[in-house]
Amino acid sequence: MVYKVTVLTEEHKEFTAFLNEQIRAYNNEHSHSHRASREAGAIQPLNIMVTDDEQQWLGGLTAEIYWDWMEIHKFWFQDTYRGQGLGGQLLAQAEEVAKQMGATKALLTTYEFQARTFYEAKGYQVVGEIKDYPPGSSYYTMVKVFT
């Protein structure tokens, strides 16, 4: 077989789209769960927004519910609202809504300098750690099984 290897050090959207399409096709062929998640409505969004009296965003949470899991993607508050219990209330609300939507577990990632101890206090456990990512810190994958 004859082939050529090209190395680029810049973004190539068409090549990235090609790889995404091929990986998706492979996953669909080999995993019923992946195939099922491609059906309309299989992945359910969850957005919880906190606003002030002027409807300005103060923070919130974004997640998706699929495969009986809630995957938390983003969770942030302005500094002035941290440490007052609002984050814990919001996380508990997200978990309750996720359970109502069929989730039995939650998944998230966080950096050492972000919120590992916050999540541990809420029942999340570290199931994976990448040390020195970014340099001098760690990157964690955390899971909580709902009871």
Work out the pLDDT band at 21, boundaries 50, 70, 90.
very high
User: Domain count of the chain?
Assistant: 1
Structural domain that includes position 135: 43-145
Nearest by Cα to 108 from 69, 133, 141, 62: 141
Average pLDDT over residues 17-46: 89
Query: Is 122 domain-assigned?
Result: yes
Query: Is 4 domain-assigned?
Result: no
Answer for the pair 128, 91: CB distance below 8 angstroms, yes or no: no
pLDDT at 31: 87
Q: What is the pTM of this model?
A: 0.85
CATH number at residue 72: 3.40.630.30
Query: Is 37 domain-assigned?
Result: no
pLDDT at 38: 79
Query: Is 16 domain-assigned?
Result: no
Answer for the pair 74, 87: CB distance below 8 angstroms, yes or no: no
Answer for the pair 110, 119: CB distance below 8 angstroms, yes or no: yes
